[in-house]
Amino acid sequence: MFGIPGKQAVTITPRAAVQIAKLMGRDGQQGLRIGVKKGGCAGMEYTMEFVAEVDPLDEVVEQDGARVMIAPMAQMFLFGTEIDYEISLLESGFKFRNPNVTEACGCGESIKFDEKLTQ
């Protein structure tokens, strides 16, 4: 919907693709749906859920056996985002590198977008 012809809405690093494909296979899911919702100390939060069906309005990105679906309302907020999976001594999880974010809280769970996108 908000894409540029020939360019994927989001990119998935190889580490993230491996993890998404592994979780899809383990639970028999069709993919990982990502979105945004109001909440958190900065105003918005990412949402992630593995789903059994692809919504026909979702933007779908597939890579190396991983499928990510972007919820329709979130497409303009997530365009250009890189999804990574990081492992450290204290935690592991998906990380979003989103060029549309103007602020984030210290924990990285809550984000704020350019006001042009939220109007």
Q: Please report the DSSP string for 6-30 in residue order.
A: TB-SEEE-HHHHHHHHHHHHHHT-S
Q: Which of 115, 36, 108, 119 is nearest to 79 (CA)?
A: 36
* CA atoms within a 13 Å half-sphere pointing along the CA-CB vector of 75: 16
Q: Is residue 1 scored above 50 in pLDDT?
A: no
**Domain boundaries, given as residue ranges, for the chain:** 10-118
The CATH number assigned to the domain with range 10-118 reads 2.60.300.12
Prediction pTM value: 0.80
Q: Is residue 43 scored above 90 in pLDDT?
A: no
State the pLDDT confidence band at 6, using cuts at 50, 70 and 90: low
